[in-house]
Structure 1
Amino acid sequence: MEDLDTQVLRAAQAWHAAGLPVLLVTVTRTWGSSPRPPGSLMAINGRGETVGSVSGGCIEDDLIRRVREEGLDAVCAQGRPATLRYGISADQAHRFGLPCGGTVELVLEPVAAHSQLPELLQANLERRSTERRLDLHSGAVDLQLGRRDGVPELSDDALVTHFGPRHRLILIGAGDLSRFLSQMALSLNFEVIVCDPREEQRASWSLDGVTLSHEMPDDLVLRLQPDARTAVVALTHDPKLDDLALIDALQSEAFYVGAIGSRRHTALRRERLREHFGLGEAELDALHGPAGLYIGSKTPAEIALSIMAEVVAAKNGIQRATPVPVAEGKATWLDGGAAPADLPASCPV
């Protein structure tokens, strides 16, 4: 499954290649409450078909109506990009279903050969972060290597947007926990790679949409070179496999590196990585261990939910001190003697 931005861009390119008029719509700025954040994309063709969204559906309905009744040329005069705002007045907010007087600003861009959508899609496929500059006067597009994330920047002359590769999750170990994590990650549009060199573990492990690797974990991590849109989680409880992956992952740009295990085993792991493999304190501080947020997890599915929640929090820039990590939760509930009666001391997370 592709991420939503890629689906929008691919649909826009396919419609254009089929000869249909197409608009690419970008949320550039919002004021007050708004259903979709800046950077959200939608493509709409001349028949009124859409992919993606810029609101809860009301603005889309109005754009579809205008495209069908007036045509794309009327919406974007002379084939040039146009800027449009919804929700400026209380009447508009009520009409378009915007909450509490929220305002949404859009740039409507007619898709053409110079839109460079195939080039942008290829950059995403090759995991290259791209800055896309749209000239608001001519519609010409310039693509450059850029940062992985950022809000749109709109001026009188140009709209600059940022596109990055799909988020990726590398799991070390093929088992029940990795299966639940994979299913959750796929539903969140992550690319998922499961690595396990143990043939007996891989024999019965398969899941549509997941790449299964038999490489040694350190070889896989070195080959993939985790970037700032990659998370790595070690799940085997075997230091010969987990530590190998963690050594290289902690020295990469990965936005999240975690490993399961008890607090005692986590402390021993940190000591091994420090004493035997020379990792510094800054690298060890980046290790999430035990991986996950404390939710009293007991089953593999609940543990997977705990870990995936922490991965998503890290992806979204939530600081580690904001959610309650596993170690802090255990110290509060178990060491403090305030644990519920049905929470065993051997609780796996």
Structure 2
Amino acid sequence: MTGHDLNVLRQLLSWQQEGHKVWLITVVGTYGSSPRQPGSMCALRSDGLLLGSVSGGCIEDDLVSLVKQHQLSTSSAEIKIYGANQEEQLRYKLPCGGQLRLLIEPVLDRTWLEAVVTAIESQKLIKRQVTLDSLQVTCAHAISHEPVVSEQEGSLSFVYGPRLRLLIIGAAETSFYLANMATALDYQVFVCDPRPEMQETWQHEQSTLLTMMPDDAVVSLQPDLNTAVVALTHDPKLDDMALLEALKSAAFYVGALGAKTNNDKRRERLQLFDLTQQEIDRLHGPVGLQIGSKTPAEIAVAISAELIAVRRDRIHTPQLTSSVDKVTV
């Protein structure tokens, strides 16, 4: 889920609180090439105001037309298919063979909406299940590898909140910039630093500060294929502790700050412990794309860019065998 999706839900809640009739439209399935992924959403008001996107624009225009003509149900949810044939694909400017399945859902009770918005703002995952005919909604805690959208007979489930996790070792300036960027990229951010003087000066409200030792922090998070671990303390005693556990985990990315010479020495140290060569080869060090970064903010940009590149399979990282599938977001 992106920050824009959160804005859609906030606006939907605001409109509902003001007494407007509102609908939440969500992409629940795609076929062929599609401009939006399942889970993409928009908020629609009875007077035609719309925020968000489920396509490139033509489908949104049709939804606005439908609501102005009072053709959307105010008592039950429905699934509408766009692009069922070539004529519709041309009309709605869908890519060749593209098809979208949308859930059009009137929002009558804002209780679940408040719960979802609160959970997302708290950087927590929440799962919502809606029964199509009765609009009955239930919310529960979700886990990171659950699909964004799942369909059952007569109902649909949605998972909201950060789909990815980032554990940063070290509460320094570079960590602050990286935490900001990672939050914008839909990561749930954890920052670990056992040093009291660093804990006292850490100020990043959207991240969770962990005061335990780095290896304990990695173990407690149980990194999966949607988790990245980045060591930024410049202190081998702290960084290496985290890496020893992270490199054995299923984390999709493990990186460490430092020049090439320092990271070569780090790899030599890691060989003294119970790590295989395959596990050591997973280390990204020096961390981040090599774009000439110098300042803390620039280094954070380079790390963020490399996280994106690895997730999008632009850079290969050896992965350990895991029973948990990676979530595509």
TM over 0.5: yes
**More off after superposition, 260-269 vs 279-288:** 279-288
What's the counterpart of residue 323 of structure 1? 315
**Could you tell me which residue of structure 2 aligns to residue 236 of structure 1?**
233
Give the aligned residue type for 1:66.
L
**Cα gap change, 1:45/1:274 in structure 2, threshold over 3 Å: closer, same or farther?**
farther
Give the CA deviation at 1:3: 2.4
Q: Distance in 2 between matches of 1:194 and 1:310?
A: 19
- Under a length normalisation based on structure 1, what TM-score does the superposition of the two structures give? 0.70
Shift of 1:220: 9.5
User: Structure 1's 314 and 54: CA in aligned 2 closer, same or farther, altered over 3 A?
Assistant: same
Amino acid across the alignment from 1:85:
I
**Does the CA contact (< 8 Å) of 2:162 and 2:186 recur in 1?**
no
**1:211-230 map, 5 Å:** 218=214, 221=217, 225=221, 228=224, 230=227
Q: 1:271 to 1:219 in 2, by over 3 A?
A: closer
Structure 2 spans left out of the alignment, 5+ residues: 318-329
Aligned 8 A contact 2:2 2:184 in 1: no
Distance 1:155 1:191, change over 3 A: closer
Deviates more, 1:250-259 or 1:303-312: 250-259
Would the alpha carbon gap of residues 136 and 86 (structure 1) be closer, same or farther in structure 2, given more than 3 Å must change?
Answer: same
Please point out which of 252, 255, 270 is paired with 1:258: 255
How many Å separate the matches in 2 of 1:48 and 1:191? 34
**d(CA) in 2 for partners of 1:240 and 1:275?**
14
Match of 1:45, as an amino acid? R
Alignment pair present for 1:70 and 2:64: no
Contact persistence 1:193–1:210 (CA under 8 A): no
The alignment partner of 1:99 has SS state of coil
Q: What is the distance in 1 between the residues matched to 2:119 and 2:207?
A: 21
Task: Report the equivalent of 1:135.
Answer: 131
Aligned match of 2:47 = 47
Q: 1:119 aligns with which of 90, 115, 120?
A: 115
Cα deviation digits, residues 104-150 of structure 1 (max 9, x gap): 11010111228722233344455554443221121112334444241
* Structure 2 residue 2 is the aligned partner of structure 1 residue 6: no
- Between structure 1 and structure 2, the one with the greater Rg is 1
Q: Residue 122 and residue 251 in structure 1: after superposition, are their counterparts in 2 closer, same or farther (change >3 A)?
A: farther
* Residues 1-349 of structure 1 aligned to structure 2 (within 5 Å): 3-67=3-67, 69-71=68-70, 74-76=71-73, 79-113=75-109, 116-125=112-121, 128-148=124-144, 149-154=146-151, 157-165=154-162, 167-171=164-168, 172=170, 174-175=172-173, 177-178=174-175, 181-182=178-179, 184-190=181-187, 197=195, 218=214, 221=217, 225=221, 228=224, 230-247=227-244, 255-273=252-270, 275=272, 284=280, 287-293=283-289, 296-300=290-294, 303-315=299-311, 318=313, 323=315
Give the structure-2-normalised TM-score: 0.74
Give per-residue Cα distances to partners, 1:43-63, cap 9 Å, x unaligned: 212233333210122211221
Give, in whole Å, the separation in 2 of the partners of 1:289 and 1:237.
12
The one-letter code sitting in structure 1 at the alignment partner of 2:172 is A
**Distance in 1 of aligned mates of 2:117 and 2:3:** 12
The one-letter code sitting in structure 1 at the alignment partner of 2:46 is: G
Residue range with higher mean Cα deviation, 21-30 or 130-139? 130-139
Q: Secondary structure at the match of 2:90?
A: helix
Question: Which amino acid counterpart does residue 297 of structure 1 have in structure 2?
Answer: I
Higher helix content, 1 or 2: 1
- Contact persistence 1:115–1:139 (CA under 8 A): no
> In the alignment, is the contact (CA less than 8 A) between 1:250 and 1:286 conserved in 2?
yes
Q: Which moved more, 1:98-107 or 1:246-255?
A: 246-255
Equivalent residues of 1:114, 1:140 under 8 A apart? no
Q: Mark the CA change 1:168 to 1:132 in structure 2 (over 3 Å): closer, same or farther.
A: same
Q: What is the distance in 1 between the residues matched to 2:138 and 2:284?
A: 39
What value does the CA root-mean-square deviation take over the aligned residues?
A: 4.0
In structure 2, the CA distance between the partners of 1:144 and 1:243, relative to structure 1 (3 Å rule), is: same
* Percent identical: 39
Distance across 1 between alignment mates of 2:191 and 2:136: 41
> Secondary structure of the residue that 2:12 maps to in structure 1?
helix
Q: Which stretch has the larger CA shift, 208-217 or 252-261?
A: 208-217
Match of 2:326? none
